[in-house]
Amino acid sequence: MRAWPLVVGLAACGAGNGHQAQPDGPVTAGSDASVDAPPGVTWAPLISRSYTVDNVSPETYVCRRVKISQDMWISGFRSELPEGTLRAFVSIDTSGATQTGNITPCDGTVGIGAPGVNRAQLLFADTHGPNQYNDILFPAGDAVHIPANSYIVLNADVYEPVDGTPYSGTLNIYATTVPPGEVQHELQAMFGGTNSIDIKSDGTMQTVTGGCSGPRSQDYHVLAVWPHMHMLGKHSHLTITRNNVTDVVEDQPFTFTNQAIDMVNERTLGTQDQLNFTCSYVVPSMTCQYNGSKYCGTVGTCQPDNLCHVGQSDSLGGEACFAALYVWPPPNNAFGCFSGVQPPI
């Protein structure tokens, strides 16, 4: 499906119930390494993939699998993602597959896993930003672990940034590492959000919320957030609620062309706490004739209320509502805070 232009305003979504703390702003957002990276940081290639899209297949998945021969403790990631990268995931593939190199055909489940089977361990998630590089550097003592002899997969959804114009690009993911003796907390990324999306073309701000609640066997510590929506997304809002008191972890306008990973002040997701991720959208006003000749195009399907309804999709033909959260200790569950029907994303 093709992208389509939007000219709509921004508005903030409402907060959760109970006392509301002041939300964090981004401490590290996707910007050039000369701004974000302290002197002395060394970036080494982790995984990359070249691709071409054309007007026959203007949007497609591209995947690559490589074997990591030595233990890696990663203290930061850097992405170099071309314009037209809807999203890119890097994960440890737990499917048992050992093929390396480019994977063809590829879909949204490769390296991620489908519901009911082994799901991947998420390492990194990002999309194209306005600068050459997007960087995430973890606090001292925190690192993501890739065990020796693991297979990691780069899974990306890419599209033509200009309709009908063939486009070639290369996805590059880099990492910086620390010695294992310096690691105090092993991080993992997991998704929070939902695939239960139904937003209608009435021109008003609409919200979708997903997340998870206790009981849990242990507390988790949240320290970074990557919100993700598509072209209709307007605002992201992440909260943790404990004993009817709501802590606003992130409350930011959402921009499709600048989806950065934000460092936030570390806070605890307790054994009984509720985590909610709320996405806000606006679908421009339009009507359709249900079961008639009016076509909704790329903005959804016509429903009995004679409005175009947009649902969940991994492509630009629909919407998304999820955030990748870096937490410790490792939850070993990539979709541990995903409510409703789990993806493939």
Has residue 331 been placed in a domain? no
Q: Identify whether residues 151 and 49 lie together within a single domain.
A: yes
Has residue 343 been placed in a domain? no
Has residue 15 been placed in a domain? no
Has residue 6 been placed in a domain? no
The structure's pTM equals 0.84
DSSP, res 160: -
Q: pLDDT class for 255, splitting at 50, 70, 90?
A: very high
Q: How far is CA 317 from CA 45, 53, 137, 232, 299, in A?
A: 32, 17, 33, 11, 7
Quick check: 1 pLDDT over 50? no
For residue 57, what pLDDT is reported?
Answer: 87
Q: Identify whether residues 247 and 157 lie together within a single domain.
A: no
Q: Identify whether residues 213 and 175 lie together within a single domain.
A: no
Q: Identify whether residues 112 and 226 lie together within a single domain.
A: no
Has residue 342 been placed in a domain? no
- Does residue 227 have a cis bond before it (omega within 30 degrees)? no
Q: Identify whether residues 73 and 205 lie together within a single domain.
A: no
Of 155, 183, 211, the residue at which a domain comes to its end is: 183
Q: pLDDT averaged over the chain? A: 85
Q: Identify whether residues 148 and 229 lie together within a single domain.
A: no
- The CA distance from 44 to 17, in Å, is 45
Minimum mean pLDDT among 30-34, 76-80, 121-125, 297-301: which range?
Answer: 30-34
For residue 341, what pLDDT is reported?
Answer: 54
Q: Identify whether residues 114 and 71 lie together within a single domain.
A: yes
Q: Identify whether residues 92 and 131 lie together within a single domain.
A: yes
For residue range 25-83, what is the model confidence (pLDDT) as tens digits?
333 333 333 334 456 799 999 999 999 999 888 999 999 999 999 999 999 999 999 99
Quick check: 268 pLDDT over 50? yes
Quick check: 230 pLDDT over 80? yes
Q: How far is CA 172 from CA 97, 126, 312, in A?
A: 22, 11, 27
Quick check: 265 pLDDT over 70? yes
For residue 114, what pLDDT is reported?
Answer: 64
- What domain range is 154 assigned to? 23-183
Has residue 4 been placed in a domain? no
Number of folded domains that form the chain: 2
User: In this structure, what CATH number is given to the domain that contains residue 220?
Assistant: 2.60.120.230
State mean pLDDT over 138-160. Answer: 96
Quick check: 15 pLDDT over 90? no
Has residue 344 been placed in a domain? no
Q: Identify whether residues 64 and 126 lie together within a single domain.
A: yes
Q: Identify whether residues 36 and 109 lie together within a single domain.
A: yes
Q: Identify whether residues 80 and 155 lie together within a single domain.
A: yes
Q: Which residue has the tokens 């937003």?
A: 199
- The CA distance from 229 to 280, in Å, is 9
For residue 115, what pLDDT is reported?
Answer: 58
Of 183, 210, 237, the residue at which a domain comes to its end is: 183
- The CA distance from 289 to 62, in Å, is 37
Q: Identify whether residues 39 and 112 lie together within a single domain.
A: yes
- The CA distance from 31 to 135, in Å, is 7
Has residue 16 been placed in a domain? no
For residue 118, what pLDDT is reported?
Answer: 59
Minimum mean pLDDT among 71-75, 157-161, 326-330, 340-344: which range?
Answer: 340-344
Quick check: 95 pLDDT over 60? yes
Of 150, 183, 216, the residue at which a domain comes to its end is: 183
Q: pLDDT class for 266, splitting at 50, 70, 90?
A: very high
For residue 12, what pLDDT is reported?
Answer: 29
For residue 332, what pLDDT is reported?
Answer: 85
Q: pLDDT class for 295, splitting at 50, 70, 90?
A: confident
